[in-house]
Amino acid sequence: VQFNKLPLNRLVSITCRAWAPGIEHNARRMRGMVNFQLYRTYTDMKSNDNDVH
């Protein structure tokens, strides 16, 4: 799975189903699937508060 252009500072919920012979799907029991969440933030890699000037 590849996620393109996920929004910044927003929680995104994803449900993935496995598709193969013999896999039972049951949304109520969460069989054959998985849920997860992604939260993307922006980090400015150029600046560092620990830098000595």
Domain ranges, residue 3: 1-42
Residue 53 inside a domain? The answer is: no
pTM summary value: 0.62
What are 19-45's pLDDT values in tens digits? 999 999 998 998 999 999 999 998 777
> Could you tell me which residues are beta bridge partners of residue 33?
17
Residue 48 inside a domain? The answer is: no
CA distance 12 to 38: 5
Q: What is the pLDDT of residue 16?
A: 93
Residue 8 inside a domain? The answer is: yes
CA distances from 31 to 9, 15, 21, 37, 39 (A): 30, 12, 14, 18, 25
Side chain identity, residue 22 = G
Q: How many structural domains are present in the chain?
A: 1
Residue 22 inside a domain? The answer is: yes
